Chain A
Amino acid sequence: MREVPAERISSEVARLCIEASYELGEDVIQAFQQALEKEESPVGKAILERLIENARIAAQGEYPYCQDTGFAVVFVELGQEVQVVGGNLVDAVNEGVRRGYAEGYLRKSIVNDPLFRRINTGDNTPAVIWTEIVPGDKIRLTVAPKGGGSENMSEVRMLKPADGVEGVRRFVIERVSRSGGDPCPPIIVGVGIGGTFEKCAWLAKKALLREVGSRNPDPDYAQLELELLEEINKLGIGPQGLGGRVTALDVHIETFPCHIASLPVAVNIQCHAARHKSVTI
């Protein structure tokens, strides 16, 4: 067994929280540049120019890209030949989040109870942690801070198998259309299809970690991604919902086999602050 100290996990998670909040991915910035060429609305163009400028200022390290530095969603791919020593994995990740949000001057946006008390926990913990046991002796950590505005526009729907491709198309378009300017367009749309009720939501979230511009390896789904993107950009919602040609930068679909009776579909919407950073230990 390879041993990895819990402290190492904490320090890496802390660093990833900060990096994700200040350095927007190059793929997203390139997508803004391409969007600027496509956008016809003067208001929309001005917004896209300002988003590029915002990313440049944030990368200097004094102001996070967005004030909603999110729920810390942490994906852990834990090699089965790794043993975490000197502490447990969950505590180590939460300690990393606590440290990263304090040292990075990030906003603490988590309340301790969803309904009755809603008191801020003060350190942005707990994180939402998804652990997968994988072959090998490495740990891969991905920190994806998720803003509330776009998360609020997300939805799971249990379609019937007979609804088919058209049913999926209608649901995705309806969900984006109804969201308008609220999730901070230009957005990235994560779609999970198949599995069970909770599995498709997880797939939709995972889909948001893919690089903007990447396609599903299955040609049918790759084609559907491009068709959905085109249809979404016909809605006219535009940057910030103020009208324009660019509503979404990309659509990513992830799938899983499903039950003969089911067609679960989840749409997870990501604002333009599409933040995620990874490291392999």
Chain B
Amino acid sequence: MSSAFKRVSTPLTDEVVQGLVAGDNVLLSGVIYTARDAAHKRLVELLQKGEPLPLDIRGQVIYYVGPTPARPGKVIGAAGPTTSGRMNAYAPQLIAAGQKGIIGKGEMGPQVQEALERYKAVYFAAIGGAGALIAQCVVSSEVVAYEELGPEAIRRLVVKELPLTVAQDCHGGNLYREGRLRYQLA
């Protein structure tokens, strides 16, 4: 690999988040939760009604993923990230409730960037489409809510050394913008 990795464990603290800068390569280990469009819609509806969430979100990392079904004897199927921009409308409310990290792919909107800075949270990019490779880092998987949503259910995953890149940080750093400007020739 091209550069050194920072080893990070979940749950995340303000201190850890503040130490991460856009462009950092990270190996993430510990518990993370999965959720995508349909689950986010439900979580934010609960927050708006003032009702408890099916997980304690404080310090947690949410991975935007809908895996393929696990084969017999396997923990999970292919498990790469989905496009994060679709969660722009939901992420700020969950970050305000204590979520500290997001894993996905593609740039997140200004409302999310503002929440990352205000509440000290971080957005990691996983490699979109590298579903088979990422599955090798998943140690365990169990559905904790919304089983009826199938691939969109909320799962609790334990991951070991999941390779990520810090894409947007709590200091205003944004690798989608900075990286593109660095290599733009037009």
Q: Is the CB of A242 within 8 A of B186?
A: no
Which stretch in A72-80, A191-199, A229-237 binds the other chain?
Answer: A229-237
Residue in contact with A107 in the complex, picked from B71, B151, B183, CB distance below 8 Å? B151
CB distance from B36 to the nearest CB of A (A): 11
- Given A46-B1, A235-B186, the answer on whether A63 and B125 have CB atoms closer than 8 Å is no
Q: How far is the CA of A64 from the CA of B79 in the complex (A)?
A: 9
Docked complex Cα distance between A181 and B67 (Å): 20
What residues of B have a CB within 8 angstroms of the CB of A57 in the complex?
132-133, 136
Of the listed stretches A35-43, A127-135, A164-172, A249-257, chain B binds: A35-43
Given A236-B185, A240-B128, do A67 and B78 touch, yes or no (CB 8 Å)? yes
| Interface status of A15 (Cβ within 8 A of chain B) | no
**A43/B23 contact (C-beta < 8 A), A63-B78, A234-B185, A236-B182 known:** yes
A41 to B68, CA, bound (A): 31
Task: Tell yes or no: B167 within 8 A of A by CB.
Answer: yes
Given contacts A149-B83, A243-B178, contact A66 B131 (CB under 8 A): yes
One digit per residue, 1 when the CB lies within 8 angstroms of any chain B CB and 0 when it does not, for chain A 21-44 equals 000000000000000000011110
Whether a CB of chain B sits under 8 angstroms from the CB of A220 is no
The SS class assigned to the A binding surface is: loop
Residues of B near A147 (CB, < 8 A) are 129
Interface size on A, residues (CB 8 A): 52
Tell me whether A154 is interfacial, beta carbon within 8 Å: no
A112 vs B157: C-alpha distance when bound (angstroms): 29
Q: How far is the CB of B72 from chain A (nearest CB, A)?
A: 9
B169 beta carbon closer than 8 Å to chain A: no
Interface string of A54-65 (1 = CB under 8 A from B): 100110001111
A180 to B179, CA, bound (A): 11
A63 touches B179 (CB 8 A): no
| CB-CB nearest 5 A-B residue pairs | A243-B179, A236-B184, A42-B2, A63-B132, A236-B183
B residues sitting closer than 8 Å to A (CB atoms) are 1-3, 23, 25, 65-71, 74, 77-80, 82-83, 85, 105-107, 125, 127-133, 135-136, 149-151, 163, 165, 167, 175-176, 178-186
Return 10 A-B CB contacts under 8 Å, by A number.
Answer: A41-B179, A50-B127, A58-B132, A66-B131, A107-B151, A184-B128, A235-B184, A237-B180, A242-B125, A244-B179
